A and B are shown apart, each in its own frame.
Chain A
Amino acid sequence: MEGLKVSNANLTVYIHPSKSNQVSQAVLRELSSLLFTFSEIVDGVVLAYDVNSLDTCAKILSGVHPYFGVKLKVNFLLFSPKPNTLLEGKVVKLTEDSIQVVVLGFSAAVIAEKDIREEFVWKMKKGHEVYASRSNKRHVIKVGTMIRFLVKSFDEEILHVYGSLIPDHTGSIHWLDKNLEVVSHADRSEKKKRIQPERVMLEQDAVDGELSTLDIVEKRTSAKRQKHLEES
C-alpha cells in the first residue's frame, strides 16, 4: 500500500511556562494533539511519533507569557494519500451507488458508482449486494473484502478519501494477487462482453415485472450524453 511514509522532522515546540517543571510531558502532549489530524507542516496525517532527541536548552520568548521553545527531533509515521496512489482498505458497506471502505481502521473512503469500471456490475447474490466482475467470475467485491483502489482526492479536514476502481490493477486484493497477469488478457476481451451488463440488469429487473429494453438503452445514452456535455 502506498500513502504511508516515515519522515524525520526537526521541530521547535513552544511550551507554556506553567509546564516548565514537566517539559517532556508537555512536549508529548503537544505532539499527541497532532495525532489523527492532517498537519500541513508535515504534509500528512500523523499516525505515530517517536521523539529522537530533546534539546536540553530552550529559548525563552519575551512577552507577557514567556513561552519557551524546545527543539527536538521527531520521527513521524504519516498517512498522506496523494492522487493516483494506491490504497488498501476493507469494504464496510456496498450499495449500488457506492462502495464504502475503511482504510487503516480510521480513514473512510468511498468509491462512487461512476468511479467503478464497467467490468464490475452490481447485483444481489444470496441476499447480499456485491460488485462482481463480468470477465472473471471469481473477482467479487462484497462487504468484508479487502480492496485496492486508486486515490482520486483526499479531504484533509475530515480525512475522507475519494477513490476509484477504474484502473485494471484495482479491485479485490485477494483476487489481484493471484491473477495479476490474467487481468491484461481479460482486458482485451472486455469490449466483446460489453453488451452483457444490460442483460444482467434486465434479468434483475424482470423480476419486478415491467421494463422495456428501450427504456434502459435510452436512459444510458442520455446519461452518457450528459456526461459528454459536462466534460465538454
Chain B
Amino acid sequence: MVKIHVGNKEESPQMDSGGYSGSQLVHHFRSVLDAVKTGDRANYDDLVSYLHPKRNLSPDEVAILVTTLKALSGAVSYIDSDHHESLLFAVSRMSLWNNGTEVMDALLELITSLAATNGKYIDWCLDMLVKHFVPPFYMYGSLDNENGINRKNKVLSRVHAALEEIADLVPLAPLRLCPIVVQNMPSVFSNDRVSSYDFLQRQLSEFVVYHYYEIVLYVENMLKLESGAIGETVGSTVLPALVDRLLELDVEIGWDGILQEDSRGIFDMELEDIIKFAEDENSDSMPQSELLNRKNLQGKQDKKVVEKLDNLIVLALLHLESCQSSGRLAEVFDILLHSFQKTVLNAYKSKFTQFVMFYACALDPEGCGVKFAMILADMFVSDVNPPITRMSAVAYLASYLSRAKFLSAALVTTIIQSLVDQCYAYCKLRDSGMNPRAHQVFYSGCQAIMYILCFRMRSLMDVPRLKLQLLNMPMEAIWKHKLCPLKAKAAKLFMASESFVFNDMLESDLSKAFGGLDRLDMFFPFDPCLLKKSESYIRPHFVRWSKVRTTYDDDDDNVSEVSESGSEATDDDFVDTNTKDMIDDDLMVTVEDLDFNPDLNKMSITPKNSLKHLRMPARIRPSTSPESL
C-alpha cells in the first residue's frame, strides 16, 4: 500500500507497513475537512495539492491520487462549498481525458457522490460531466488512432454511465441536465469568425480542425444521451436544440450572398472543391494574400460550414436509423415535428435541415410519412395560423409530396383533393380581381397543386380510380377564376430572373407583392440536397426531376432523357454546373415559344403541344439548384 503523507504525525500516524486502510483514511479526511471550519488549513491544503492536475504522473502518484479521490467520496457529506472552495476548484480542473481508468473511476465516483449527497452540487457535477463530452484542445490530434479511439470510448462510456447513475439517485437531475447540455454546446461559428483575422495560420487551422471535431463529437454525445436511459426526459430538449443548431448553420450558408457578390458563384463550386479547400487549409504554402482575400474567405467559410452541417446532419440521420431499430422513431419524430413547426418551418429558406424530417418520414412512410403530410396540410388549411406559416406549410407540403418516393399515390391524391377543396372554397367567396398581396395564401396553394401535379400527374393518371378523382376536382374553376392564379404565377415566374427582357414591364406590384421580398415565391424546400454525405442517405428515397415521367413527355423522350442523364451523379452535375445558364435559356425559350401573353389565365394546366419537347420553365420546374431557393 502506498504511503500517503497527509498532515503531521500526531494527527495522522503512518503505519510502518504501509499507509491507511480505506475506512481510516475516510475518517481522517472527514476530520481534515472539519478542521478547516475551525481555521486549521494545513492538512487541508496538503490534501488539495494532491488533486491539482499534473502531467505524467508516476505510478505512485497515480495510486495516491486514486486513494485520495476514493477517500474523499467517502467524506463528501463533510464538503462544504463555503469552506472547501479550493478543493472543489481542484476537482473541477481534473480531466478524465488525461488520466488512466483508475483515476477516471475514482473521480467519477466522487462526482456522483457529490451530486447525490448535496443538492447544491448537482448542477456543478452535471456541468463537469457534460464538459467531458469533448476532449481538451491539445488531444484532438491523437484521437484518430486506435489508442485515441479506445480512450474516447473509455471516457465517454464512463461519463454517460455516471450521468445515468446520478439520474437514478436524483430523479429530477435529467431536468437540470437539459439546460446544461444546451448551454455547453459549442458555438457553431466561433472558428469561422476567428479565421477572418490574420492569426498564425498553422495554429489557427489546428484550432479550426479542433473546433470542427468538437461540435461533431458533442452532438454525437447529445444523441447518445437521447438514446440512453434518460433519453425520455432529455430528448425533448436536446433534439430541438440540435435542430436549432443545424438551422443556424444552414442559414449561415449564404448561397444568395455568394451569387450576388462573387461572379464565380456557387454553381462553379463543385462539391469536390470542399475537399480541396480543406486540404488547402492544412498546407503551409498558402499565400497570405489569398488568406486575406475576403471573398475567398467567405467562400471557404461557407465550405467549412457546409462540411460541418453535412456531418451533423449525417449524425442526425444515423440516430434516426438507430431509433427506428429500437422502435422509438415515433416518439422522436413527434419531438422533431414539434420543433420543425416551431423553427424550421418559419425559417427563411432553410435549405438542408428539413431533410432530417424527410429521412424520418422515409424510415416510416406509413406512420411518420403520412403524419408529416397531414400536419402540413392541416397547417395550411387552418386559418388560425398566420399567412406566412400557411404559405410555408404548403410549400413544404408540395415539395414533400413531389419528392418523397415512399408516399402512396392515394395519399397524394387525398392531399391534392384537400388543397383543391380549400382553394375552390376560397375562390367561391371572392369576386375580386387578381391581388397577390391580399390572396397570397390562395396563390401559394395553387402553386402547390401545380407543383405536385408536375411530378405526380402522370403516375396518378395511371390508376383509374385516382384518375377519376383527379378529373372530378374543380381545378379548372380555380384556374379560370377572376383571381387569376396562373397569371400571378407567371408574373412571379418572370420577375425572378433579372436578365429577363421583360423585366421592367413585369416588375410590378403583382410579383413583388407576392409574400414580399421573394418570400416563398419559389421556395421548394425539398429540392435536391447538395450536401454530399447526407445526400447519399436521402437519394434512395428521393424523386429526381430527371426521372419523372411528365405528362408532356412522349415515352420516347422519356427514355432518351433517362439515358441521357445516365447515372444519378451525372444528373446532378449537369444541373449543378449549368443551372444558371439553363434557367435563363429555359425562360427565353419558353417565353418565345409561348409568345408571352398577359392573359395567361387561359392556359390549361395540361401543357399543349407547343410545350412538347420543351423543358419546363426552370422557375416552375422543380429546381435542382440552390439558386431557386
| Contact B38 A229, beta carbon cutoff 8 Å | yes
Tell me the nearest residue of chain A to B173, going by C-beta.
A108
Given that A215-B13, A219-B27 are contacting pairs, would A108 and B74 also be in contact in the complex, using a CB cutoff of 8 Å?
no
Which B31-74 residues sit within 8 Å CB-CB of chain A?
31, 34-35, 37-38, 73-74
How would residues 154 to 183 of chain B score, 1 for a CB under 8 Å from any chain A CB and 0 otherwise?
000000000000001111110110000000
| Contact B38 A158, beta carbon cutoff 8 Å | no
Given that A215-B24, A226-B34 are contacting pairs, would A209 and B17 also be in contact in the complex, using a CB cutoff of 8 Å?
yes
How would residues 91 to 115 of chain A score, 1 for a CB under 8 Å from any chain B CB and 0 otherwise?
0110111101010011110101110
Tell me the nearest residue of chain B to A223, going by C-beta.
B31
Tell me the nearest residue of chain A to B13, going by C-beta.
A215
Q: A102–B169 Cα gap in the complex (Å)? A: 7
B122 touches A (CB below 8 Å): yes
A14 touches B (CB below 8 Å): no
Which A200-220 residues sit within 8 Å CB-CB of chain B?
201, 204-205, 208-211, 215, 219
Q: A210–B24 Cα gap in the complex (Å)? A: 10
| Contact B24 A211, beta carbon cutoff 8 Å | yes
| Contact A96 B119, beta carbon cutoff 8 Å | no
A55 touches B (CB below 8 Å): no
Question: Nearest-CB distance from B148 to chain A (Å)?
Answer: 34
| CB contact between A108 and one of B18, B75, B119 (< 8 Å): that residue | B119
B429 touches A (CB below 8 Å): no
Which B87-105 residues sit within 8 Å CB-CB of chain A?
none
Q: A92–B24 Cα gap in the complex (Å)? A: 25
| Contact B172 A97, beta carbon cutoff 8 Å | no
Which A146-197 residues sit within 8 Å CB-CB of chain B?
155, 157-160
| Contact B116 A110, beta carbon cutoff 8 Å | yes
Find chain B residues with CB under 8 A from A155 CB: 119-120
Q: A100–B165 Cα gap in the complex (Å)? A: 12
A33 touches B (CB below 8 Å): no
| CB contact between A223 and one of B34, B171, B175, B384 (< 8 Å): that residue | B34
Q: Chain A, interface size: which category?
A: 35 or more
Interface residues of A, dominant DSSP: mixed
Question: Nearest-CB distance from B236 to chain A (Å)?
Answer: 14
B215 touches A (CB below 8 Å): no
Which B594-619 residues sit within 8 Å CB-CB of chain A?
none
Residue picked from A21, A93, A108, A230, most chain B C-beta under 10 Å: A108
Count residues of chain B with CB under 8 A from any CB of chain A. 39
Given that A93-B169, A108-B171, A230-B37 are contacting pairs, would A211 and B30 also be in contact in the complex, using a CB cutoff of 8 Å?
no
| Contact B113 A97, beta carbon cutoff 8 Å | yes
Residue picked from B24, B26, B120, B176, most chain A C-beta under 10 Å: B24
Find chain B residues with CB under 8 A from A36 CB: 172, 175
How would residues 107 to 141 of chain B score, 1 for a CB under 8 Å from any chain A CB and 0 otherwise?
00000010011111010000000000000000000
Tell me the nearest residue of chain B to A227, going by C-beta.
B34
Find chain A residues with CB under 8 A from B77 CB: 97-98, 110, 112-114
B432 touches A (CB below 8 Å): no
Find chain A residues with CB under 8 A from B23 CB: 96, 201, 204-205, 208
Find chain A residues with CB under 8 A from B384 CB: 21
Tell me the nearest residue of chain B to A93, going by C-beta.
B169
Q: A155–B119 Cα gap in the complex (Å)? A: 7
B21 touches A (CB below 8 Å): yes
Given that A98-B76, A159-B172 are contacting pairs, would A226 and B31 also be in contact in the complex, using a CB cutoff of 8 Å?
yes
Tell me the nearest residue of chain B to A122, going by C-beta.
B23
| Contact A110 B24, beta carbon cutoff 8 Å | no
Residue picked from A98, A158, A204, A222, most chain B C-beta under 10 Å: A158
Which A10-67 residues sit within 8 Å CB-CB of chain B?
21, 36
| Contact A210 B18, beta carbon cutoff 8 Å | yes
Q: A47–B329 Cα gap in the complex (Å)? A: 30
| CB contact between A219 and one of B28, B35, B113 (< 8 Å): that residue | B28
Find chain B residues with CB under 8 A from A209 CB: 15, 17-18, 21
Find chain A residues with CB under 8 A from B175 CB: 36
Find chain B residues with CB under 8 A from A222 CB: 11, 31
Q: A100–B77 Cα gap in the complex (Å)? A: 11
| Contact B113 A205, beta carbon cutoff 8 Å | no
Find chain B residues with CB under 8 A from A205 CB: 21, 23-24
B22 touches A (CB below 8 Å): yes
| Contact B31 A208, beta carbon cutoff 8 Å | no
Find chain A residues with CB under 8 A from B118 CB: 110, 160
Residue picked from B31, B118, B384, most chain A C-beta under 10 Å: B118
Find chain B residues with CB under 8 A from A226 CB: 31, 34-35, 38
Find chain A residues with CB under 8 A from B122 CB: 158, 160
Q: A12–B120 Cα gap in the complex (Å)? A: 33
| CB contact between B171 and one of A105, A110, A113, A215 (< 8 Å): that residue | A105
How would residues 291 to 310 of chain B score, 1 for a CB under 8 Å from any chain A CB and 0 otherwise?
00000000000000000000
Q: A157–B13 Cα gap in the complex (Å)? A: 43
Question: Nearest-CB distance from A146 to chain B (Å)?
Answer: 16
Q: A95–B35 Cα gap in the complex (Å)? A: 22
Given that A158-B122, A229-B38 are contacting pairs, would A107 and B172 also be in contact in the complex, using a CB cutoff of 8 Å?
yes
Tell me the nearest residue of chain A to B17, going by C-beta.
A210
Question: Nearest-CB distance from B455 to chain A (Å)?
Answer: 36
Which B207-235 residues sit within 8 Å CB-CB of chain A?
none
Find chain B residues with CB under 8 A from A210 CB: 15, 17-18, 21
| Contact B38 A110, beta carbon cutoff 8 Å | no
Q: A102–B77 Cα gap in the complex (Å)? A: 17
| CB contact between A106 and one of B11, B27, B28, B171 (< 8 Å): that residue | B171
Residue picked from B15, B28, B170, most chain A C-beta under 10 Å: B170
Q: A229–B122 Cα gap in the complex (Å)? A: 30
Question: Nearest-CB distance from A194 to chain B (Å)?
Answer: 18
| Contact A95 B119, beta carbon cutoff 8 Å | no
| Contact A95 B37, beta carbon cutoff 8 Å | no
Q: A145–B38 Cα gap in the complex (Å)? A: 37
Question: Nearest-CB distance from B432 to chain A (Å)?
Answer: 28
Find chain A residues with CB under 8 A from B18 CB: 209-210
Tell me the nearest residue of chain B to A212, going by C-beta.
B13
Q: A57–B22 Cα gap in the complex (Å)? A: 69
Q: A92–B11 Cα gap in the complex (Å)? A: 35
Find chain B residues with CB under 8 A from A105 CB: 171
Q: A229–B36 Cα gap in the complex (Å)? A: 13
Tell me the nearest residue of chain B to A204, going by C-beta.
B23
Find chain B residues with CB under 8 A from A93 CB: 116, 169
Find chain A residues with CB under 8 A from B113 CB: 95, 97-98
Given that A21-B384, A92-B169, A93-B169 are contacting pairs, would A98 and B22 also be in contact in the complex, using a CB cutoff of 8 Å?
no
Find chain A residues with CB under 8 A from B11 CB: 222
Find chain A residues with CB under 8 A from B119 CB: 108, 155, 157-160
Q: A201–B21 Cα gap in the complex (Å)? A: 12
| CB contact between A100 and one of B34, B73, B169 (< 8 Å): that residue | B169
Tell me the nearest residue of chain B to A112, going by C-beta.
B77
Q: List 23 A-B contacts (CB under 8 A).
A: A92-B168, A97-B73, A97-B75, A97-B117, A98-B76, A108-B119, A108-B169, A110-B118, A113-B77, A158-B176, A159-B172, A160-B170, A204-B23, A210-B15, A210-B21, A211-B24, A215-B13, A215-B24, A219-B31, A222-B11, A226-B31, A229-B38, A230-B38
Known interface pairs A92-B168, A100-B116, A158-B122; 7 further A-B residue pairs with C-beta atoms within 8 A, sorted by A's residue number:
A95-B73, A97-B77, A98-B76, A102-B169, A110-B116, A209-B21, A226-B34
Nearest first, the 10 A-B pairs at minimum CB distance are A160-B119, A112-B77, A208-B21, A108-B170, A158-B119, A155-B119, A210-B15, A106-B171, A97-B74, A100-B116
